[in-house]
Structure 1
Amino acid sequence: MNDVITLEALKALDAIDKQGSFAAAAASLYKVPSALSYTIKKLEQDIGVALFDRSKQRATLTPAGKLALQHGRELLLASQRMLDSIQQLDSGWESELRIARDTVIPSAPLFQLLQKFNQLEQHVNITLGVEALGGGWDALHSRRADIVIGANGELPKGLFNMHKIGSLMFVFCVAPEHPLALVETPISAEQLAQYPAIVVTDTSQQLPVRDSGLFISKQVIRVNTMHAKIVAQQQGLGTGFLPKHLIKSYLDDGSLIEKNCHLPRPAQDIYIAWHKQQTGKAFDWFVQQLCKLDWKIECPLKQ
């Protein structure tokens, strides 16, 4: 057994899990699939354990593979942090900054801020991620994000700095052709239980997953972004609460209909959050600028 596990092998394992296939992972790493397959087979030989179950049409991680991936990601983050610290020591500018936004946060203000940052002409790689539900806090906790925009829910105590950027207002919506669109009285829990619900999946990897289901439904259809949830509800696949700032135009054009519901969802405060002990010129610049932006998330409720 070879005791040396290379970062290249861990990057390959990470890419396969994120991209969903050997071919897509190879493309993301600018490698040919055969080279990536060799890297994984060598890793399996070195540690003496199968990381993928190849008995089916699509290779899937074994329990050992999942454990290797979990610890491997910690090593990859630690190695990147080491490089960041070394490079930052000389110039004060990090080599990379990781910013994640919750799926309810519009991307346009962040992209506009990136254009402003690029005018500084500093060679800082910016990685943008998207999280959902408890995934924002999880991204900070696991160090896969330095700054999170739109963190919400139960607030960690003492670990991070936070700046409130607004309150999300939710409305219950259905497509015009959905049977509940014809209901004139407030929709009851019994009526909701007769139809599928569309929910966004929590992106937490280490912290406990948050349950996004607010009511009992006939079927749960899970999607990975709020945009996908909006599209699914527009097509009449199911029901659910949606953030009003993202669907105002759809309410105006009638492609979604707001309905009264006996299970109201209260407004939810959301925050920009970041690590307390972190330093760096790019980090400081973004924290300051992000807290000044108008994220355009608050809409007046229907009168």
Structure 2
Amino acid sequence: MQKTTLEQWRMFKAVVDEGGFNQAAGKIHKSTSSIHHAVNKLEDSLGVKLLVVEGRKTSITDIGKVLLRRAHYLLDEVSRIEAVADSLSLGVETELRIAVDGAFPQCIIFQALEKVSALYPQVNVDIIDTVLSGTNELIMDSKADIGLSPIPMKNGLNEELCLINFVGVAHKNHPLNLLGRSVSKEDLKSYRQIIVRDSASQNKTDAGWLGAEQRWTVSHLRASIELIEQNLGYAWLPSHSVSDSLTNGTLKHLALNEGSKRSVSFYLNYLDKDRIGPAAREFMGELRLLTLDMPTSDTH
């Protein structure tokens, strides 16, 4: 059986934090005598001296300092448990799982989640990286609550959020950028194309032009960008993800006579609005606001 109570530890902490019994009484709205009684009983139960009172000055002992550090963890955990209970009583979910296609601007996701976490700090967030059909597959398999995808769901709810530009790019020294003329699709066929693999396990989808005779396939957008920056191929990539490399001259737009740029709609996908909790609704609302500020034909 436990020798002490949480209330005793709270009162002991209050005395230390406020610098005395009278000050603690005013802070936590308890009588001075009840706080004295609680701390004395705590000391008796533990068999140690926690506080020393000299006149009007109350000091914590060395043993008291050690035990107070431990008590902080205990009281903080109790506060977290109580906050979780409050959230659950209000119907707030304990976890928010978001599947995000790699082509969607990560900064938008992070800004929206920062606002959500400020309101619902006890909600754990799981961000899952996906490509093409992978987002919707996770939603259908109940492994994600919300998805950001360029592909609308057949059996769910889809809300178009924004358009994202994909641009044909290669290293500044790539042969396609040294032709001195417009690049044709026949030119493209002779060089290596870098593409990103659909992350779905079934019903995979191809997207964009795939006419090159040689292709390297990677699992993540970042790998594709790195290969392009190392002059190992060309690709169509989200303009926001290569804007810095284009600005500093590492990459160049392919001078295609057609198809150098394409705009892709991105959707906010989910299965059933009745299964979406308050934190998820807040996240969706923040996404709508943030994407309103984005140009309709680009993302930066």
Are the structure 2 counterparts of residues 198 and 282 from structure 1 closer, same or farther at C-alpha, using a change threshold of 3 Å? Answer: same
Instruction: Please say if residues 105 and 297 of structure 1, whose CA atoms lie closer than 8 Å, have aligned partners that are also in contact.
Output: no
RMSD of aligned alpha carbons? 2.6
Quick check: which has more Rg, 1 or 2?
2
Q: Does structure 1 residue 226 correspond to structure 2 residue 244?
A: no
Give the 3-state SS of the residue equivalent to 2:153 in structure 1. coil
Q: CA 1:197–1:166 in 2, change beyond 3 Å: closer, same or farther?
A: same
Equivalent residue for 2:176? Answer: 180
Q: 1:167 aligns with which of 133, 158, 163?
A: 163
1:128 deviation in Å?
Answer: 0.6
Contact 1:245–1:297 (CA under 8 A) maintained in structure 2: no
**Structure holding more helix per residue:** 2
What aligned pairs does 1:40-79 form with structure 2 within 5 A after superposition?
A: none
Counting only pairs closer than 5 Å after superposition, residues 113-192 of structure 1 correspond to structure 2 as 113-149=112-148, 151-153=149-151, 155-157=152-154, 159-192=155-188
SS of equivalent to 1:266: strand
Which of residues 287, 291, 294 is equivalent to 1:294? 291
- For 1:215, which of 199, 206, 210 is the aligned residue? 210
**Counterparts of 1:295 and 1:228 in 2: how far apart (Å)?**
29
Query: Are residues 225 and 160 of structure 1, via their aligned partners in 2, closer, same or farther at CA, if it must alter by over 3 Å?
Result: same
> In 1, are the aligned partners of 2:132 and 2:150 still within 8 Å (CA)?
yes
Q: Where does residue 190 of structure 2 map in the other structure?
A: 194
How far did residue 262 of structure 1 move? Answer: 4.7
Give the match's secondary structure for 1:114.
helix
Cα distance change, pair 284–296 in 1 and its aligned pair in 2 (3 A): closer
1:121–1:96 distance in 2 versus 1, CA, 3 Å:
closer
Check if 1:274 corresponds to 2:274.
no
Q: Distance in 1 between matches of 2:91 and 2:296?
A: 40
Identity of aligned residues (%): 27
Q: Using the alignment, how far apart are the partners of 1:223 and 1:239 within structure 2? A: 13
Note closer, same or farther for the CA distance 1:222–1:183 as it changes in structure 2 (3 Å cut).
Answer: same
Conserved? CA contact 2:162–2:296, under 8 Å: no
What residue is the counterpart of 2:91 in the other structure?
Answer: 92
Distance 1:283 1:192 in 2: 43
Q: Which runs of 5+ in 2 are unaligned?
A: 1-85
Q: What TM-score, normalized by structure 2, do the two folds share?
A: 0.63
1:182 CA displacement: 1.0
Change (3 A) 1:209 1:250: same
Q: With structure 1 as the length reference, what TM-score do the two structures score? A: 0.63
Counterpart Cα distance in 1 of 2:176 and 2:279: 49
